[in-house]
Structure 1
Amino acid sequence: MMKYILFVFALALTIGAKAQDAALQHTPKGALYQIFTHAPGDKVKEGDIITFQYIQKTDKDSVLYSTYVSGRPGQARIQPSQNLADLMEVFPLLAVNDSVLVKVPTDSLFKGHEESRPPFFPKGSFLKFFIKIQKAQSMDVFMAEIKQAETDGANKYIADHKLTLQTTASGLKYVITKQGTGIKPQNGDTVLVNYAGRSLDDKVFDSSIEAVAKQAGLQQPGRTYEPLVVYVGLAGTEHSVITGWNEGLLLLNEGSKATFVIPSNLAYGAQGSGEIKPFSTLVFDLELVKVKPAKKTPAVTKAPAKKTPGKTTGLKKEVATKKN
């Protein structure tokens, strides 16, 4: 009897799954999808930046990733589909507040590199996405919103820390907390700098000072804690630094201490770097320990050209000819 009941239950699940699959539609590249809501308003279009929540699951409903858990919604720019997994065939079918289930066949994902297929994605299985569109914006509106959020965050940090800063034409904000008495660096000079870098949530992400690094719990195995060597104004070298540093260091005398509040366009921009998120304003407390002026190449003075006796040149020659 129990075997019969289990058989009926399994059959019901199979029929239910098949009925659900029958409701799914196919994209040209072979993904399956079902739109659960049809919100009013325009569909997202090519060039839009969308913000969306999503959950990734296996066929057996094991959660692989959830933006609801991570607290970071997904974002993407709508463009022509390059592959089955980019979901660009499905996004243009949706409006803001629409929800959709997308099933991507894993056979297509691991085609040509079966050795990478994990055991929870057997042949014939699907990677499932449950997606809800939250926002669709043009690039201009998206960038304006990003910049405003960055500005608001920086202003809040400055107000909370009661900083009185000067601002350069490029947007670098700084305050000299200790005025040094040494020389100022010039482009091409080598300088030694101690520093601690922070995000706007006051989290230290890097420091050349051991006590600061340890207090912040930084894991920097093999790091030698000593002043950083910087070639001021020289991009693309081992010791080159972000634009905000290059500009700010030129404002300081040797021995000075300062705080720089550096907007993302003078730091790591839209790409970010490591744990530094895109469009992040950064805060640096630093000390200009030493300035080593670049070696100057002595100017070469040309010897005056020797004149050949009896010859004239230019205007003098023409005048001499007229006299004859």
Structure 2
Amino acid sequence: MRWLVLFLSVFSSISLRAPVAIAAASIARTIVVDLKGGGDFKSIQQAIDSIPDNINKWTKIHVAAGVYREKVNVRSTKSYIVLEGDGAQTTSIEWGDYDGDSSGHNTETSATFTSYASNFVAKRITFKNTYNGFAKLTPAVAAWIFGDKSAFYYCSFTGFQDTLADTLGRHYFKGCYIEGVTDFVFGYGQSIYERCKISTVKSLQKPGFVTAQGRNNATMPGTIVLRVQVGAPSQGLKQLTWEGMETLLEESGCTGPGSDLSGRVKWEKQLSDDELKKFIDISYIDGEGWLEAQPPLD
């Protein structure tokens, strides 16, 4: 049974600011991963495993350009890691597991990249599930995020079905690219997506759905889509019922041909300006300033 319940989130094109000023942390150690042998390791997983458990000092793992064909798992004991690529166009982690393959994988274990650790940062790297979903529609996750206080900057998440599992915790995505065909952003996380691009790949077998939300009851929170440029009408925001429950989508300030509200279901909610205030402040996910306490971008 699939448990797709969309996280409470903001898909936003506005710039957000942290509510408090906290000194950024410094990097205590840098590890270099290079497929060509010019670093400390050739494997990302080996680099992660080399970090002592339960330390509270930041370690940077710089991953040189290349396609790293491996499954990567950041265990809960491996907090305070910055995983940095040379660029999302040149550095990628790729694997092709899917739900129900010959190894008995389910949706979670199909993930190319999994992170259980809190205080995790990734930047300028691609997470890709290479499974060809056009052959068989089935979950095949690119990244599965469990840890709290996790941030992703200028990363790409590419897959077919269930690309990005934003599962648990407070997460921040900035300048990221997320691609899939159906239900490809899902989870229970409390997250903000700032200036991200979400792209639906056309499929002949199935219409594209960015997310599937199955709320347990009508009082559970839903999704905020705030000031987003929406594509062509055929790619616009729509709502359907899923497993007998109304999905909840709250739109505000969206533009583009796909933002026309005339075709929406009549129970869609429109938030007032006062109701939106808490969602357009970074304190929605970061009241204590954990984002600014992370190492600065360079």
User: When the two structures are superposed, what TM-score results if normalisation uses the length of structure 2?
Assistant: 0.20
Flag the structure with more relative contact order, 1 or 2, with Cα contacts below 8 A and sequence separation at least 6: 2
Bigger fraction of residues in strand: 2
Larger Rg: 1
